Chain A
């Protein structure tokens, strides 16, 4: 058995996978770990100097898929990606087009979950305008499900490039100072000062709700309950449902 631990880094997985593939290691001979489990088994694949660094041609589409799957919060992603790589390199060039293949289906589901997480990142970040050392800045607390901060934040730079902002998350924090996007380690929690515009937002949320058509399931499907604690308007939800019941 060979043990490999790329942590949460796609670059490290790629490095390890290249070495393993060059030695012709079968997917079932590798035990992948990641995300803080390093040291438990050592890092056999990366430490092995004998592994030649040959290049393997894989479709660009595979790299795109792999980069997305790499953001998925589960250690299983590394083994799955290696299995796909091994099969493609082994001659199944069209594997990416066989969406009904079990490995492909898993990979596509992970990719979909990651893309959805990025989309919800763009949707659910709520900035507060706060004052830091006499300067107005925007700050948000968001809890993504997967490792999507680096993927999601450039969107905010394109959109709000003239605003200084920070987005704090448990996985990674991002800071835009009008010139450069910087990242810092994740934090457990931040307390942000109140922003009076939030009252207007809550007023709007209450008024645009139509109490004659209650579809709580449809709402929860698109706005899962685990996001509610970072959404200011979510504190109105139970109250609105109750009021609607009385209409």
Chain B
């Protein structure tokens, strides 16, 4: 990273010395701007949190009573003479790219993002800058997302087929973001829709923050009769646990960008894998880099070595950064620890 730039990578995370704040720090660090509510970005132990109002609500739900300050999209806040503005990242409700500028120097920290609208999150907007710090969870050309409508239609079709055969459907998706995206895409004429406790609690939080959500009942209120042909949305950590026994007979599905690969589908040991990601695919990543107009690209997590090399081959100045962000995870053992507090 450039010497004496507005943003530096410290051992605790991305740091702006002039403004004296961190962005998504992974250890207790001080004042923090948070891009979104996922647990590898919004971590416990900061003295103050600045984020979009929806993210503030999510943090209060996940982290307890923390000191938050809300900032709406596209309103510049001056911190120690540094201008801070949040722009929609399209990742999950409340997710933001953080623009930081002073003088002629403009930085954008993407957090996690996707460029296509999902009907739930505030749609991504490109932000021009000199320095673009981007994720690249799916930074290889094998990743190409089908239009969301097609994926949701195949989820509904799968649910319908199961219901006809007298089977319950259990779909695993992150409790924050993916679960609601699927919920809003389900066809309620097929059957009843239930949520795992973690999903229901998150729905309430988001609903209170003003996010529009379709109806979803708590699973613990379901009778045996209610469950017939129903679909249950559950966090990935619930897969392979005895919690599922009460849904017998059932089929399982997993919704994630990783499901684009047969190897990962087989690893999950779910009956079906739907390719649905809240991250940018290859084309979107390239689009974002291009439309930022940045001279310098820094890559934080994902296939950053390959993506950096590719950008360099296209004549860009691209660098890898060593961060502790995880993006969309395939490995549930680490996720289980994080979800345990929810």
Co-complex (A, B):
no
Interface set of A (CB-CB < 8 Å, partner B): none
